Amino acid sequence: MVELTEAFESIFKTKLAELLRTNRFGKSIYVFNELDSTQDYANALPITQSVHGTIVIARKQNVGKGRIGRSWVSPEGGLWMSIVIRPDFSADNIIFTQFIAALAVADAIQQATNIRSRLKWPNDVLINEKKVCGILVDVNLESKDKKIVVGLGLNANIESSLINNYLTADTTKATTLREEYGNDIDLVNLTKSIVDRIEYYYNFLSSGKVLEIIELWKQNSDMFGRRAIVYDGIEKIMGEVVDIDQDGSLIMKLGDDSIKKITYYGNVTFR
């Protein structure tokens, strides 16, 4: 058993390192058979062991973390990964780390399956209106060890019933690549594509091309013109999704035609 575990970790890591064509992302890779949470692991890595682009992957997570304090069901077969970013861009643009991660995931899904997934603000990737990937961004810019950790939970080769059984009624239903595509996907290749594309989009961010990121994100979303309910942590706002603002907020038109900007913490469901 121990040998099999070690084999998974080293085979995954070696194959991924061989495949990657990046300059900085994935130069340091940690792969585990099992972790409580790749996000916690990446957050806790000392500065010397977490250069920009460091990747942490687990075959399964025991205490996977989702947004807004939720848990994240993470059995074997999914892609559970956290990436350390040492930001060289303005703190005002942090919200766009989740935009670039979502774009990267959408590109990788298309490459692997030919399925065009759709993005839902702030950070979900959907197929047929169901969530296939969630993104969690932890930011620590206070200490000397300034870093952003981007966590990706991609339901790849698993059954959605494993996840849906745990969801509350108001959450978007989950789907998986296995169910949408009809086959299992090679997780190393999928990881390689995501990491390649994250580096590609990260270069937009570090060169200040935020408007380009927003435009690309919008092209990959079909939220606009739809009626939605947004819960921003304080109140439920009903209206039509109109646009994404230059600071990454969601712009809604309310029933009385007034415009409301929703910042990052909003959670959107369609009516």
Q: Does 38 bind ligand BTN (CB under 6 A)?
A: yes
Q: CA 82, CA 54: separation in Å to the nearest integer?
A: 8
Q: Taking CB positions, which residue lies at the least distance from ligand BTN? A: 134
Q: Does 66 bind ligand BTN (CB under 6 A)?
A: yes
Q: Where are the alpha helices (DSSP H) in 95-245?
A: 95-113, 161-164, 177-181, 187-206, 210-219
CB of 179 to ligand BTN, least distance (A): 18
CB of 52 to ligand BTN, least distance (A): 18
CB under 6 A: which stretch of 14-22, 36-44, 207-215, 248-256 binds ligand BTN? 36-44
In terms of phi and psi (left: phi > 0; alpha: psi -120 to 50; beta: otherwise), the region of 257 is left
**Phi, psi torsion values for 139, nearest 5 degrees:** -120, 130
Q: Does 221 bind ligand BTN (CB under 6 A)?
A: no
Binding residue for ligand BTN (CB under 6 A) from 26, 30, 67, 216? 67
Nearer CB in complex with ligand BTN: 132/210: 132
Site pattern 75..114 for ligand BTN (x: CB under 6 A)? -----xxx--------------------------------
Q: CA 214, CA 220: separation in Å to the nearest integer?
A: 10
- With contact defined as beta carbons under 8 Å apart, do 138 and 73 qualify? no
Q: CA 13, CA 188: separation in Å to the nearest integer?
A: 9
Looking up tokens 């993005």, which residue turns up? 119
Other beta carbons within 10 Å of 113? 17
Q: Does 135 bind ligand BTN (CB under 6 A)?
A: yes
The pairing of strands 29-35 and 55-61 is: parallel
Q: Does 72 bind ligand BTN (CB under 6 A)?
A: yes
Nearer CB in complex with ligand BTN: 108/258: 108
CB of 254 to ligand BTN, least distance (A): 26
Nearer CB in complex with ligand BTN: 20/136: 136
CB of 133 to ligand BTN, least distance (A): 8
DSSP 8-state code for residue 65: B
Binding residue for ligand BTN (CB under 6 A) from 151, 239, 248, 266? 151
Binding residue for ligand BTN (CB under 6 A) from 37, 43, 97, 191? 37
Q: In what order do the strands lie in the sheet with 124-127?
A: 29-35, 55-61, 79-85, 147-154, 130-140, 124-127, 118-120
State the residues that interact with ligand BTN by CB under 6 A. 37-39, 61, 64-67, 70, 72, 74, 80-82, 134-136, 151-153
